Structure 1
């Protein structure tokens, strides 16, 4: 089995491809060709969100990719995300009914009848968090989402769902890479049947979000600390990106690399030809630096 075909189980009816194509910071001009190219290059999972403001362009790319490959809709796994609102930004949290409407609006923009995974993008809903989660449970019952989950939720946010007596999320999409391994959260998710989906897998790369206008939070010290992955990748005859992505998949996490370069696109999904050995896995385990750089689950605006 290759990584292109490898999947991780989300629920009885749904499995997520191990390697997906992320569309964060992919412009509306680039998204149609990028998504279509990704599908042509073997990607079977496309990840987008209302907050990315590119759903229509991503939908166009999905249609073009399906047409180019002759694949049916059910061959592609699509993740979409609710923007829950954030009162800290003057953005009123979405109610139950608004959550249903937001999902319908995303499906219309994407040109889809259902999404394979619908997530609450962040725990910014405060008092509306449970109402939003109840709405996602209804969307699943209605067939609008085959699986449902959350993103950027910490253990406290997940416990809130459990204490409400509601079914737990199928997945939690969080920042995961050797510098942010979140062992306690991962352990809790495993105990509660919540699949981890990793974003920002490539943070340790020296080239991660270095272009103007991209929101890298990496310090100079972080940028200087990545040479170990260059050396480790050379040992396996792969790129740094392949090594970091393989680490995620080997740990059981679906990963979401993004590239507009077709060669790197193909490289990022070509992870089946090597296995990180036990000694290197143990070495990487010692590299954890805590929360990460893309999003802080301790953000006070998420806790209210």
Structure 2
């Protein structure tokens, strides 16, 4: 990748570990290895998987075959909903390590808040203990609303390093983002490419202005807004193209035009269970 303009390529989390801001999402990719290899060869250093995706083993194979040292690659996985609870979570972490063929996972997240408060907190305590045991470097959550983050804070437990949520121009999750910024929880943006629903005049005009694809504009917008976008593609060529975002910069007017597209929850295009009980 060429030298970035106006933005960093990594951020240091509260855990002290780094997070590469551009990651490859492998959701619904039953043959993730080619995309992962293409990503790592193109300069990506972050792969976002989950136990629910069923492709941790393929991610691990790609990491080993890439020629990039494991210490330079950052892997995310997530505890799925039916694995909530202290003992189940610890067992899930061990199973992920086996599937990945790694001694540690860089980031382990709770995939969603879709259980009750005591179970969520037990799950969170298990991840903290897995971190203390050296099996996980940083711990976080996904699809957590303010209510769920407040549960953790009020229980006197350390807050997550990361909250991974749907975040794209039509649904910018401002209340959650504001809370996370206030409390030092870093935001990862899944579905940053709007699942290709980018036939929106403001986005198309900015793309034309910069002679870039809508996907590249959306990734760049997310980076300039201070998020970590996780564009997903199973096509190696698109994986490489999505990362070609460091040779142009959106102007303040470009960013404002895309910011103005926010429709709140009405703009949701994915699962997005941030209001779970």
TM-superposed deviation, 1:296: 3.2
**CA RMSD after TM alignment:** 1.8
Indicate yes or no: 2:227 matched with 1:253: yes
TM-superposed deviation, 1:12: 4.6
Check whether the contact 1:18–1:253 (CA below 8 A) recurs between aligned residues: yes
Indicate yes or no: 2:198 matched with 1:171: no
Cα distance in 2, alignment partners of residues 253 and 119 from structure 1: 17
- The answer for the alignment partner of 1:210 in structure 2 is none
TM-superposed deviation, 1:262: 2.9
TM-superposed deviation, 1:72: 1.2
TM-superposed deviation, 1:63: 1.3
Query: Which whole-Å deviations, capped at 9, do the CAs of 1:102-125 have from their partners, x for residues lacking one?
Result: 011011001111011000000012
Check whether the contact 2:97–2:105 (CA below 8 A) recurs between aligned residues: yes
Identify unmatched segments of 5+ residues in structure 1. 86-92, 207-222
TM-superposed deviation, 1:283: 1.8
Indicate yes or no: 2:260 matched with 1:286: yes
Query: Which whole-Å deviations, capped at 9, do the CAs of 1:132-181 have from their partners, x for residues lacking one?
Result: 00011111111111100000000000000011010100000000011011
Check whether the contact 2:79–2:92 (CA below 8 A) recurs between aligned residues: yes
TM-superposed deviation, 1:288: 0.6
Identify unmatched segments of 5+ residues in structure 2. none
Check whether the contact 2:15–2:137 (CA below 8 A) recurs between aligned residues: no
TM-superposed deviation, 1:284: 1.7
Indicate yes or no: 2:137 matched with 1:161: no
- The answer for the alignment partner of 1:40 in structure 2 is 41
TM-score, normalised on structure 2? Answer: 0.93
Cα distance in 2, alignment partners of residues 273 and 182 from structure 1: 28
TM-superposed deviation, 1:5: 7.2
SS in 1 for 2:19: strand
Q: 1:5 to 1:186 in 2, by over 3 A?
A: closer
Q: 1:145 to 1:103 in 2, by over 3 A?
A: same
Query: Which whole-Å deviations, capped at 9, do the CAs of 1:264-289 have from their partners, x for residues lacking one?
Result: 22221121111111112122222111
